[in-house]
Amino acid sequence: MSTRGLSLLSGGLDSMLAICLLRDQGVAMEGVVFVSPFFGAQGARKAAAQLGVPLREVDFTDDILALVRHPPHGFGGALNPCIDCHAAMIRRAGELMRAGGYDFVSTGEVLNQRPMSQNRRSLETVAQTSGLPGRLLRPLSAQLLEPTEPELDGRVDRARLGAIQGRQRTEQLALAKRFGLTEFPSPAGGCLLTEKGYCRKLRDLLDHTEGIPPAEDVALLRFSRHFRLPGGGRIIVGRNRADNQALKALARQGRALLHTVNVPGPTAAILGPIGEEDLLRAAQIVAAYGDRGALAQVVVRHVTPGGAREFAVDPLPREAFAPWML
Ligand code: SF4
């Protein structure tokens, strides 16, 4: 029986190289990617296709939402609970490892590549927190770390693993060339929890939600124009035709909508309860984004599961509602 490994595959170069290094010594490798409203499987699918390895896609939504609410090891630069996120992914991969009879779990982590989440202490914390210390292999930095079980018993040849550390990418680029990898995304990006603009909206949602926010509310954060109104109401205003169509579809979930009647304009979704004053403000914002020409007033329709009503409003000047934008 050949040695079998399950490797976290984000689609980034390091995660691809982790697989290449192990496969190069005859280990049968498969990839696993975790999917949530904050990160998807697109990059991993491309990488798996390029590498020719099977890929498992695992829904990680509940895990990451719980960690965004309560990250035991805190956040990185935005709302990214990287240490706990990594540990939870590795814990889940460990469950798959045991169920599927794999020998170990591997990752593309590189010692000291990120000052907070990939220093020696953090890597150790992740290994311990994930409950998988002896069977968690970091092939790119393995020679600088404690040997794992498969290295100790010879299933994996430690001498053929890497001793990479730091932020320089020189060694990774040389390995990419050696393994014939031609396409890989840049090292940064891919996780919305690291994007400050996105995290402002997520912070607002967390501040106005008890406990863990529902996944469907989190999914709406991908729309760009979010407003928290002075009375506490929250709306999303469509930026383009695709947004407007997607927001209209929310009516099927029982969400109230606003849209212009007498001029072309955006659709807005109202999230949660809204008072009369905020409703008027919301209508005035929708009117402000309408293509009203010389018209002084815009008719806005308010559609709820219980019926619809229309009212004529004066558009608000942009500078008046800019501070409410998240
Ligand atoms: S960047 Fe995002 S996906 Fe990656 S470990 Fe951090 S929170 Fe998790």
Indicate the domain borders of the chain: 4-190, 224-324
CB of residue 80 inside a 6 A radius of ligand 1: yes
Note the pLDDT of residue 31: 98
Q: Whose CA is nearest to atom 4 of ligand 1?
A: 82
CB of residue 255 inside a 6 A radius of ligand 1: no
Q: Whose CA is nearest to atom 5 of ligand 1?
A: 82
Q: How far is the CA of 107 from the centre of ligand 1 (A)?
A: 13
pTM for this predicted structure: 0.87
Note the pLDDT of residue 40: 92
Which segments of the chain are extended strands (E)?
4-8, 28-35, 55-59, 104-106, 136-137, 225-228, 234-237, 256-260, 267-271, 298-304, 307-313
Q: Compute the average pLDDT of residues 32-61.
A: 95
Place of tokens 């955006």: 266
Q: Whose CA is nearest to atom 1 of ligand 1?
A: 191
CB of residue 191 inside a 6 A radius of ligand 1: yes
- Report the CATH fold assignment for 4-190: Rossmann fold (3.40.50)
pLDDT exceeds 90 at position 115: no
Instruction: For residues 36 and 89, give the distance between their C-alpha atoms in angstroms, rounded to a whole number.
Output: 12
Note the pLDDT of residue 168: 92
Longest dimension (CA), the chain: 79
Are 260 and 273 spatial neighbours (Cβ–Cβ below 8 Å)? no
CB of residue 60 inside a 6 A radius of ligand 1: no
Are 105 and 94 spatial neighbours (Cβ–Cβ below 8 Å)? yes
Q: Whose CA is nearest to atom 3 of ligand 1?
A: 191
Note the pLDDT of residue 190: 83
Note the pLDDT of residue 224: 81
